[in-house]
């Protein structure tokens, strides 16, 4: 099963509508944006979380300023890169580069988008087997689905394989 059905047709529609208008006047017109609609939803067999290794993925645009550059949050065309940081990172050491959601709640309590302490509680209670040593973050504003499929997802999958995780939890911003 493909991640996005008819990706080439979607890309063509983007180029003829939304992107063409952006190129003319450097503004986005969401009325012209066509969201992906797959006919078939991805599915797989369930797993036993109590014996599984879980990876946290967040679209909050979180990063460690001491380690990484911020995401290009001002770009109307999105940023398709990812950042990783250790599971043991202090939430107070993180910053957020994402201009497409109100950051008041996450700055008050990072657990709303990075529930690391809650997930550790579930490990302690043996609901989840273990957590990956890495956390993945990306800036969730990514209007080019073809770039998500060809850049962001493969970068995430390389980490999934390297970390040998059984499941991932995506917390959207």
d(CA 57, CA 169): 6
Which residues, including other chains, have CB under 8 Å from residue 104's CB and lie 6 or more apart? none
Kindly tell me if the per-residue pLDDT of 1 is higher than 80.
no
What is the per-residue pLDDT across 45-81, written as a single tens digit (0 to 9) for each? 899 999 999 999 999 999 999 999 999 999 999 999 9
Q: Where are the alpha helices (DSSP H) in 17-152?
A: 18-25, 104-108, 116-124, 145-147
Task: Give the pair of three-digit tokens for residue 112.
Answer: 């709303």
pLDDT score for 102: 84
What is the per-residue pLDDT across 26-35, written as a single tens digit (0 to 9) for each? 989 999 999 9
Mean pLDDT of 1-12: 90
Confidence of residue 110 (pLDDT cuts 50, 70, 90): confident
Q: What is the pTM of this model?
A: 0.92
Q: How many other C-beta atoms lie within 10 A of the C-beta of residue 133?
A: 12
Residue corresponding to tokens 């995401």:
71
Task: Give the pair of three-digit tokens for residue 155.
Answer: 């970068």
Residue 119 CB burial class (10 angstroms; 0-12, 13-18, ≥19): buried
Residue corresponding to tokens 């939430």:
91
């Amino acid at each position: 099963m493909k991640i996005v059905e008819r990706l080439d047709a979607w890309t063509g529609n983007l180029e003829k509508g939304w992107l063409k208008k952006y190129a003319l006047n450097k503004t986005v017109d969401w009325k012209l944006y066509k969201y992906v609609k797959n006919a078939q939803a991805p599915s797989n067999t369930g797993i036993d979380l109590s014996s599984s290794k879980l990876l946290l993925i967040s679209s909050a645009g979180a990063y460690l300023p001491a380690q990484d550059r911020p995401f290009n949050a001002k770009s109307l065309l999105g940023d398709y890169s990812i950042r990783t940081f250790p599971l043991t990172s202090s939430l107070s050491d993180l910053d957020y580069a994402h201009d497409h959601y109100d950051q008041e709640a996450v700055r008050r309590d990072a657990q709303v988008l990075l529930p690391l302490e809650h997930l550790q509680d579930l490990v302690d209670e043996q609901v989840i087997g273990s957590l990956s040593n890495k956390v993945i973050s990306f800036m969730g504003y990514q209007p080019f689905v073809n770039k998500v499929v060809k850049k962001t997802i493969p970068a995430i999958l390389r980490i999934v394989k390297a970390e040998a995780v059984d499941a991932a939890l995506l917390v959207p911003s």
